[in-house]
Amino acid sequence: MTERNVVTEVVAKSLCCGCGVCTAVCRGKALEMRFNTLGELVPALVGRCAHCQLCLKVCPALEVGEPLLPEALFGRGSKMERDPHIGGFIECCVGYSSRHRMKSASGGMATWTLEQLFQKDKINAAICVGRSPKNDRLFEPVIVSSAAELSSCSSSRYYPVEFSSVLKYILRNEGRYAIVALPCAVTGIRKAQRAVPVLRERIRYVFALACGHGVSKHFAGFLLAAAGLTEAKVKTVDFRYSARSRKATNFAFRAQHAAGNWSNLLYFDGLYGALWNGRFFVPRACDFCDDLFAPLADATFMDAWLPEYTSDVHGTSIVVARHPEVSRLMQGAKESGAFLRPITIARVRQSQSGALAYKTTYLPLRVARAERNGLKIPRSFPRAVVPGGLRERLAKIKHGARDWVCRLSFESRGHPRRLWISVLAAYLQGQRLCRAARRRMARL
Ligand SMILES: Cc1cc2nc3c(=O)[nH]c(=O)nc-3n(C[C@H](O)[C@H](O)[C@H](O)COP(=O)(O)OP(=O)(O)OC[C@H]3O[C@@H](n4cnc5c(N)ncnc54)[C@H](O)[C@@H]3O)c2cc1C
Ligand code: SF4
Ligand code: SF4
Ligand code: SF4
């Protein structure tokens, strides 16, 4: 019998987002999450596959079995409005928690919500992302068992994280858990909850961070090298340092040496943002992902990237609430130190207009192009006509050059050479000059 599992059907086609859900549910312990040479976490076959295909049923990259409908999760009775991109929602708010925002990514509302759930005894453990004790990674999902421990896990980690260990822990240990994850992992966790009842019973809340795209671990490796450090010499990394900026959008990357002192700051309006916005070190799965707002999550948290909020350097969050309990928490937010006001769904979409265009308007073009090259992508959007000719060929050259620079910038040990930092900096400068020339031509 031919073996069919996520390694043959997902990893081999570069469609894996690295969530680790397959590895958690594999009863034969045949899978293990490992970094590939591109710095992405993917499952590897380490034991005998029993061909049960459970991994295929829970994988967010595939459409196996009945589609997962939000109605089944939130109940037909719950009064929800609907948006084609955001999915169902009870209400949307914008604001911040004054206690959490200084340490958090944006307004601190994700940490505030978890804290409230602990205080109201709705959960007795939360799965957040914290510093990993493992040698091969900086961060991983960890079990937090009290509100006081939450602050060590706040802020965004632009780093690959996988949930296999924590899901295995939940399978072994009774409890009432809340999980924070990116939209792809939320889908995987929801599918696993459908397939494995004990996960449905124990995981009471699944929260999402909105996601434009993920990155491989080489993204952090490259920034560390640009700041003069390597992973081995680092105590921790802060991807969202904003205290010395003037705008919330211009946060900085910084790293703490093992000795305790912090590196120089790499601001988002420099190399940091050029790498992020240029989609360097982005896994291929993200090129085909249409999930920005995680409609299957009980609540989705995101940055309020709107002009009236970005001038507040400490950060502002938008919360899309789908679970009635989260909506209740938001009603009583003021007494618990959070300042929230309602925001329309159109403004929520507007706050993510760049990422939304990438995941909607331009996505079918990327998929059609990949399918022309023989890759079968599961999708929930219509087929688009791929523009041929010079434009497409130029786009291909651009993507080819980006991949080439990304791959060559790492040696086999995974440390970028100074030479490649210079090559990449020159490449980004070239891109900037081309964009400026294009703008000038358009004006003429
Ligand atoms: C890869 C990535 C891409 C993102 N893209 C966008 C985007 O396009 N637009 C947008 O508005 N927002 C995006 N976000 C979310 C944004 O960075 C903030 O996390 C969000 O606004 C919540 O801020 P907060 O202050 O409420 O959260 P905080 O109070 O800082 O709490 C954040 C919570 O998320 C957990 N967490 C951190 N990193 C990860 C991770 N990698 N996976 C799972 N959980 C994690 C933390 O442990 C913590 O519990 C992205 C986040 C990530 C990690
Ligand atoms: S098919 Fe079953 S045994 Fe094989 S890897 Fe997948 S879950 Fe594990
Ligand atoms: S996307 Fe997640 S479930 Fe699918 S193969 Fe990758 S790690 Fe496994
Ligand atoms: S873009 Fe999609 S696949 Fe990539 S990390 Fe974000 S949610 Fe996951």
Q: What 3-state DSSP class applies to 280?
A: coil
H-only helix segments in 229-323: 271-277, 284-287, 307-310
DSSP letter assigned to residue 392: H
pLDDT tens by residue, 286-308: 988 989 999 999 999 999 999 99
Q: Please give the span between the terminal C-alpha atoms of the chain, in angstroms, as a whole number.
A: 64
- Distance, CA 61 to ligand 3 centroid (Å)? 7
pLDDT of residue 279: 87
Residue 231 alpha carbon to ligand 4 centre in Å = 24
Residue whose structure tokens are 């924070």: 180
49 lines ligand 2 (CB under 6 A): yes
Do the Cβ atoms of 35 and 162 come closer than 8 Å? no
Task: Choose the residue to mutate in 62, 216, 217, 291 for probing ligand 4, maximizing ligand atoms within 8 Å of C-beta.
Answer: 291
Q: Mutate which of 11, 16, 187 to test ligand 3's pocket (most atoms within 8 Å of Cβ)?
A: 16
5 within ligand 2 shell (Cβ under 6 A) = yes
- CB of 298 closer than 8 Å to CB of 322: yes
H-helix or E-strand spanning residue 184? helix 183-195
Domain 6-58: give its CATH code: 3.30.70
The whole-angstrom separation of Cα 313 and Cα 310 is: 7
Q: What are the tens digits of pLDDT across the range 349-378?
A: 999 999 998 888 878 778 877 887 777 776
Is the Cβ atom of 18 under 6 angstroms away from ligand 1?
Answer: no
Query: What's the pTM?
Result: 0.93
Instruction: Give the nearest ligand 3 atom to 18 CA.
Output: 7
Q: What are the C-alpha distances in Å from 115 to residues 130, 174, 277, 440?
A: 16, 20, 32, 51
CA dihedral 217, 416, 222, 285 (to 10 degrees): -40
Gap between the Cα atoms of 190 and 297, Å rounded: 9
- Grouping H, G, I as helix, E, B as strand and the rest as coil, residue 248 is coil
Asked if residue 316 has its Cβ within 6 Å of ligand 1, the reply is no
Q: Considering only the C-alpha atoms of the chain, give the largest distance between any 2 of them, rounded to a whole number of Å.
A: 67
Pocket test for ligand 2, best of 4, 10, 31 (most atoms within 8 A of CB): 31
Give the tens place of pLDDT for each residue, 408-440.
666 555 566 677 777 777 877 787 788 788 888
Kindly state if the Cβ of 408 falls inside 6 Å of ligand 1. no
- All residue ranges of the chain with pLDDT < 50 are none
Of all atoms in ligand 2, which is nearest to the CA of residue 45? Answer: 5
CB of 180 closer than 6 A to ligand 2?
A: no
Query: Given this model, what pLDDT does residue 442 score?
Result: 79
Does residue 242 have its Cβ closer than 6 Å to ligand 1? no
Ligand 1 atom with the smallest distance to the CA of 354 is 8
Length of the chain measured in residues: 444
At residue 168, the pLDDT reads 98
Rounded to whole angstroms, the Cα distance separating 49 from 157 reads 33
- Residue 50 tokens, joined: 């029993």
The pLDDT value recorded for residue 371 is 80
Q: Tell me how far apart the alpha carbons of residues 306 and 83 are, in angstroms, rounded to a whole number.
A: 19
Q: Is residue 303 within 8 Å of 351, Cβ to Cβ?
A: yes
52-93 residue pLDDT tens: 999 999 999 988 777 787 777 777 556 789 998 899 999 999
User: 25 alpha carbon to ligand 2 midpoint, in Å?
Assistant: 8
Degrees, nearest 5: CA angle 272-273-279: 100
Nearest of 133, 285, 123 to residue 207 by alpha carbon: 123
**Which of 209, 268, 300 to mutate to test ligand 1, by most ligand atoms within 8 A of the CB atom?**
209
